[in-house]
Structure 1
Amino acid sequence: MKGVQSDTLGFVPQKDIVYNKLLPYANRLDDESNEILSKIKGNLGRAVQLREIWPGVLFWTRKLSTYMRLYGRKFSKEDHVLFIKLLYELVTIPGLEISMMQGLSRLLINLLKKRELLSREDLELPWRPLYELYDRILFSKTEHLGLNWFPNSVESVLKTLVKNCRPGVYPALRHGDELHKRQPWPCPSFLLWFDELISLWVSVQNFPSWEVHLVNLFARLANDNIGYIDWDPYIPKIFTRILRSLNLPVGTSQMIVPRYVTIAYDINHVVVWVSSLLGGPSKQAQAQLSGLFNSITSFFHPSNHGRWLMKLMKLLQRLPASVVRRLHRERYRKPSWLTPIPDSHKLTEEDITDFVLSMMQPVLLAMFSKTGSLDAAQALQNLALMRPELVIPPVLEKTYPALETLTEPHQLTATLSCMIGVARSLVSGGSRFPEGPTHMLPLLMRALPGVDPNDFSKCMITFQFIATFVTLVPLVDCSSALHERTDLTEVEREMCSASAEFEDFVLQFMDRIKLILLSLLLLTLFGADQ
């Protein structure tokens, strides 16, 4: 398909929008996009030559942005590189109006953010113009005097631009007099300073404000270079600092960090750092992580509450998601020029099992937290993707009794929320949890009493529960297959036999819907008088 498309276009597109092929006029899109792209390139180049920033350059860069929304990155690699270099030069023009700089920066970010499309050999950008722009705007000596005015959004735009320019597009560092002037934005320069910065981090104990940013740098470095840096000497210190940054109440007097102390590690950086340390020959990171969760498990008990609980719930929710992203990167992502993970440091099946087991006890406690069950449900969803046979049975053990209990609605809503999270892993079955689909119909039948107009929250979570399952699995009576097929497994025979009850489930569900509609009608007619 790509060969045919490249013959039509005259080049191999970087990354177009695949869904455009489904449009009824898809056969005309190549000619249409080629014509628009030719106009953009010609007119944008002419406007730059004439130094016509307004309206020429701004108008045609907006056209390029629209083109990317409609067709994706449907241009050649050579055009891609030229667009980036041109926009980089435009963004770093001294004295350019801030609103124009922001618009051009957003387009440049869009061109740069697909890292796998361009390698270090394809593109090289000088660091100094962007550094001077960053320094001039974010560290302006005249803004506080009222001589300059910058919108609040300019800082986030510039930081995002620096972040997207970072991987592989700065020139290779040269040793010499210029080295001390380089800022630790690009990862290569940070590698040169690793020993100094990690020694500084280890030696400082009073939690300074800049430590948060240093942890961000360490997390990025670990994530981008899994298996290439020996973190083992620092792993005990890392987990000790993480535990300290959670600001948990300790001791009989419940001592806690004062309210005015707000310095703490960003949980997003912490989970990236921890997930990047897992695996490897030493297994030290997993041992420390298990110890960390053992020490904080009691804080997840439903009776506990405090400012620190939100941070714990974020850690619980985001760490499994980060590990799932790493697994996808190791096993399913297409190879690119980005740093590959060596086989010796890839997560093994044993590593995944140990990780899931270390998280199960706090997650099961967090299901009934006072802050809600959403964080626990998201954690269970990602854990079930890795090890359904370890995650789903404990959740089922809590769900079945909750469906039979009428006096504890909070328990029912919490368990149903978590079952919604693991629904995909449950109905998928597979070699790890083949009996999963057999639980679907019993769960649906037991959930029907939850369709109760007198309890709004229980009714809504039950609707969501039923909608999730019937979206994942078509409700079809397959009982006849028991007499027509001889190659069915025991689980498949049980599912086909149970499918005869689907019609009964649908009829009961519709009866309950009619009761709800009748209740709403009566409330509308007589509610005002009562």
Structure 2
Amino acid sequence: TSAEGYLRDKARYQRTKRELSFLPFYEILHSDASKWLEQIKAGLAASTCVYAADHGLTFWLDQLKYYLDTFYLRFHREDHIRFVRFAYSLILEKDLNHRIVHKACSLIKSLINEEILNRKHLTLEWRPLYKLYTEIAYERNERNLDVSVVKDVAFTVKEFFPLSATGEILSEIRPYVDVWNDYAMERFIGLFAAFVPLKMSIDEHNKYGAALWFDELWYFYNLVEMNSSWECRIQCIFSAISEYCPGYIDWTPKHTIIFSKLLRTLNLSVRDGKISVGDGTGMGSETAGAEWIVWMLGGPNDSAEKHLSRVIRCIESFLHPLHDGLHTVTLQSFLAALVSEMVRRVRIERVRKKTKRKVPEWMRLTDKQIESFVSMLLPSVIYSAFSTVETSLPSCILRYLAFLAPNLVLPRVLDLVYPSLSTTTEPNRLKQSLECLVEICVPLIRDNGEFEYCNYNTCKRQWITEFQGSSLVCNKTAVTHRTLKTSAKMSTESVEVKRAHKAREPLRRHALVLLDALVSAIDINDVVKLSLAFRIIATFFTLFPIVDCSNAPNNQQYGILNEEEKSLCALTATIPRIITKLLDRVLTLISQLATAVPKDSTTCLDSICDVSGDVGFGSEDEILVNIRIQSTFRSLLNNSSPAIVQLVAEQIYHFAKTTPMENAVAADALCVLVQECTYASPERYFPLYLNHVMENLNDLSWEEKKHLEMLDAATMWYIFLGMVLFSVPSEIILKYREECVEIHKRAISVTCRNAYKAACWSLTNILTTLTEVYPLSEQDRQFTTCRPLDKSLSVRVNR
């Protein structure tokens, strides 16, 4: 890498791409970028001077856009300001073609970055853009400009208008104020939202900003009732001022009006769904309302939190699966906007260094306020997770909530998942529960006891004990109802004791128990459940090292392990059994996919020998299953100990060696496994598979089949198997270059179209591997998993 070059350029230019510094030819790239930038500046100047708008200016605008996409803002501040002014002048030029104006609009949006440039560095005149916008939006658009594009430019550059622009713009648009004329008010609010700057400090707002217009807009907002044409735009303006200048406006006296209006925009129904509260015209403004609410929270005053709690209690019953209706998606969108904006605010206040000071210290959210917010929303979100209106919003909301307060969310999701794994009367419940589990995998694995929580939820039952106990009785369902009730009662009592006397127990152990249960749930008859199970398994394999640590407690070096870590080490003893069971399930699934379905007297349906042109690699479901299998085994082999890798690769090698495939779907699935094994351990398994393929091709009378348009199944299988072997590091390919050339010569020399296409695909992979530069991101993880137990303990890797 060229860290010195990156640090040098970082201080010199506005913003550079860090990933480019990892390329071995960074210095050459740096020199070429500087030359390219000089050519662009010279080209823009020359094409403007000679007025070569149709050819020269268009070309160099495209070149500058490509430069920004490649190197981002890699130029000095002076050049940055010149580029912005140049693009702005092109937009305002009356004689330019609309295509060039649109290019300039796109360019200026790419150039504007308010973290780098602000009003102190650059000011732009507002009136020319205002005249252009009013001309194309409300008068004759003779230049055929896109109104939405110019409006986006106004939203982008309005924070560069001078401070005095607010009063001037208000004087220009106030004549349109007429609360009884919807068209006039919509024009007034539209121009206000597009041109009036909102990002100012408190002192600037008092002198130039909100002090000039807030009382006026609040009067309009309070006056109007359910008018979607401009009421929701005022809501967006208030939401923006709350975010850009937190604490400037005290919303406490106005909370009753704000939350009442918000509740009406949700279009809820009363009296058994026959009457709606609201006329539906405010639909779509719930997102702006949610953002507004989030930026009201915080500080010593809890009025906003109390009003939000009342709103959530009001809508909670409407989210119950029995009450699904037209309002369901609206309510889910409202909750999603609430949680998404809360995550964004927490990131602004606690994570991003450049925005930490944006929110005053007295108004920043505390841990208690965040937990209160999560507790408030959690029951409603759990209701919506089982809605008959299938959307991905509830699971995404749970993901955000789990990152905000894992101590509150994780136990509730586990209480949903475990019963669903054993239910036989509600099959849809399992699908919805697994969708929730997919989203909370990361906080579940991270829950290692590093943080201490004063308030936390616990699981209703001792799920790990129950599932381990059920697996020890040879999968029999001989557990009596009395025993289950007794265990549930005992677990409830123990939970109360833990809350009173013991610290919270981390929940990451559940990942191994759930992994075992999900492997058992793999079933080809339910593709949706199968896909979700593979997705969760792949996520678990990615997040924690697949290493057997059961002997760690016996090591004197780890005598200070706590009880949770000892229990987790004991659970890792089941990893080899789980991996073996996963292999058996997947290979059985591939064998089921390989079942031949006759197409005619000579071929089978979806055969790898079929050259008719309609051969496919399965339906969408089968392709999805293959993708999930590949991601699962890629995660497994890249994050496992050498013993686990050998266990998996040996079994797959034996299966591939003894089970030729004819069905294209099954062949593709097995080739995926072979490809991942050779990539995980190329020194051992690449020559094994290569020798196996070469020996079998030599035994199949190759010279006699070269001119056949349709090869037999065995020959096609070995060609396909040989072509997937070359997704390995370039050193391995160069080491076996003679065999590589030989096998591809054979495949390309045949007349069969399928074999020729497979060889071309393989050659593309080989040339890509030999010529491209790419990071070896798995090396660090493999180094950790390969270390002996006395030097590395994976259960403590996150601490």
Alignment of 1:15-414 (within 5 A): 15-112=15-112, 114-141=113-140, 148=142, 150=144, 154-167=146-159, 169-173=160-164, 179-181=170-172, 183-184=191-192, 185-188=195-198, 191=210, 192-252=212-272, 254-256=274-276, 261-335=280-354, 340-372=358-390, 374-414=392-432
Quickly say closer, same or farther: Cα 1:40–1:32, change in 2 above 3 A.
same
- How far apart are the structure 1 equivalents of 2:591 and 2:143? 60
Quickly say closer, same or farther: Cα 1:311–1:253, change in 2 above 3 A.
closer
The answer to whether residue 439 in structure 2 is matched with residue 421 in structure 1 is: yes
Quickly say closer, same or farther: Cα 1:31–1:415, change in 2 above 3 A.
same
- How far apart are the structure 1 equivalents of 2:333 and 2:318? 13
Does the 8 Å CA contact 2:109/2:156 hold for their aligned counterparts? yes
Q: Residue 573 of structure 2 corresponds to which residue in structure 1?
A: 500
- How far apart are the structure 1 equivalents of 2:40 and 2:439? 46
Equivalent AA in structure 2 for residue 522 of structure 1: T
Tell me whether 481-490 or 193-202 shows the greater mean CA deviation.
481-490
| TM-score calculated relative to the size of structure 2 | 0.62
- How far apart are the structure 2 equivalents of 1:237 and 1:523? 68
Does the 8 Å CA contact 2:240/2:292 hold for their aligned counterparts? yes
| TM-score calculated relative to the size of structure 1 | 0.91
SS of the equivalent of 2:578 reads: helix
Q: State which structure, 1 or 2, has the greater radius of gyration over its C-alpha atoms.
A: 2
Residues 400-428 of structure 1: CA deviation (Å, up to 9, x unaligned): 11111233221111111101111111000
Residues 440-496 of structure 1: CA deviation (Å, up to 9, x unaligned): 010111112321111121111111121221122221122232233223232222222
Equivalent AA in structure 1 for residue 83 of structure 2: F
The answer to whether residue 514 in structure 2 is matched with residue 446 in structure 1 is: no
- How far apart are the structure 1 equivalents of 2:590 and 2:32? 51
**What's the offset of the Cα at 1:205?**
2.3
Quickly say closer, same or farther: Cα 1:140–1:339, change in 2 above 3 A.
farther
**What's the offset of the Cα at 1:525?**
5.2
- How far apart are the structure 1 equivalents of 2:9 and 2:375? 54
Tell me whether 44-53 or 371-380 shows the greater mean CA deviation.
44-53
**What's the offset of the Cα at 1:166?**
2.5
Does the 8 Å CA contact 2:226/2:265 hold for their aligned counterparts? no
- How far apart are the structure 1 equivalents of 2:391 and 2:70? 39
**What's the offset of the Cα at 1:373?**
5.7
**What's the offset of the Cα at 1:29?**
1.7
- How far apart are the structure 2 equivalents of 1:237 and 1:346? 24
Tell me whether 392-401 or 248-257 shows the greater mean CA deviation.
248-257
- How far apart are the structure 1 equivalents of 2:124 and 2:403? 40
- How far apart are the structure 2 equivalents of 1:388 and 1:23? 39
- How far apart are the structure 2 equivalents of 1:345 and 1:400? 40
Relative CO higher for 1 or 2, CA cutoff 8 Å, sep ≥ 6? 1
- How far apart are the structure 1 equivalents of 2:505 and 2:42? 59
Q: Residue 550 of structure 2 corresponds to which residue in structure 1?
A: 479
Quickly say closer, same or farther: Cα 1:428–1:51, change in 2 above 3 A.
same
Does the 8 Å CA contact 1:366/1:373 hold for their aligned counterparts? no
- How far apart are the structure 2 equivalents of 1:487 and 1:13? 50
Q: Residue 787 of structure 2 corresponds to which residue in structure 1?
A: none
- How far apart are the structure 2 equivalents of 1:292 and 1:370? 23
Does the 8 Å CA contact 2:446/2:508 hold for their aligned counterparts? yes
Quickly say closer, same or farther: Cα 1:175–1:4, change in 2 above 3 A.
closer
Quickly say closer, same or farther: Cα 1:177–1:220, change in 2 above 3 A.
closer
SS of the equivalent of 2:270 reads: coil
SS of the equivalent of 2:283 reads: coil
Tell me whether 424-433 or 100-109 shows the greater mean CA deviation.
424-433
- How far apart are the structure 2 equivalents of 1:364 and 1:8? 49
Does the 8 Å CA contact 1:215/1:265 hold for their aligned counterparts? no
- How far apart are the structure 2 equivalents of 1:176 and 1:439? 60
Quickly say closer, same or farther: Cα 1:80–1:522, change in 2 above 3 A.
same
Does the 8 Å CA contact 1:383/1:391 hold for their aligned counterparts? yes
- How far apart are the structure 2 equivalents of 1:5 and 1:402? 52
SS of the equivalent of 1:297 reads: helix
**What's the offset of the Cα at 1:119?**
2.1
- How far apart are the structure 1 equivalents of 2:561 and 2:125? 64
Equivalent AA in structure 1 for residue 123 of structure 2: E
Tell me whether 184-193 or 512-521 shows the greater mean CA deviation.
184-193
State the aligned residue count: 516
Does the 8 Å CA contact 1:124/1:171 hold for their aligned counterparts? yes
Residues 100-155 of structure 1: CA deviation (Å, up to 9, x unaligned): 1111110110001x2201122111111111112211222233x5xxxx4737xx23
Quickly say closer, same or farther: Cα 1:5–1:297, change in 2 above 3 A.
closer
Quickly say closer, same or farther: Cα 1:311–1:166, change in 2 above 3 A.
same
**What's the offset of the Cα at 1:290?**
0.6
Does the 8 Å CA contact 2:242/2:249 hold for their aligned counterparts? yes
Residues 179-203 of structure 1: CA deviation (Å, up to 9, x unaligned): 4016422334761211100011112
Quickly say closer, same or farther: Cα 1:224–1:339, change in 2 above 3 A.
farther
Structure 1 residue runs without a partner (length 5+) = none
SS of the equivalent of 1:389 reads: helix
- How far apart are the structure 2 equivalents of 1:3 and 1:172? 41
SS of the equivalent of 1:15 reads: coil
Structure 2 residue runs without a partner (length 5+) = 174-190, 199-207, 453-503, 606-799
- How far apart are the structure 2 equivalents of 1:190 and 1:414? 48
- How far apart are the structure 2 equivalents of 1:203 and 1:262? 16
Quickly say closer, same or farther: Cα 1:332–1:3, change in 2 above 3 A.
same
Tell me whether 204-213 or 446-455 shows the greater mean CA deviation.
204-213
Does the 8 Å CA contact 2:126/2:158 hold for their aligned counterparts? no
Does the 8 Å CA contact 1:448/1:509 hold for their aligned counterparts? yes
- How far apart are the structure 1 equivalents of 2:273 and 2:109? 51
Equivalent AA in structure 2 for residue 20 of structure 1: L
**What's the offset of the Cα at 1:3?**
7.6
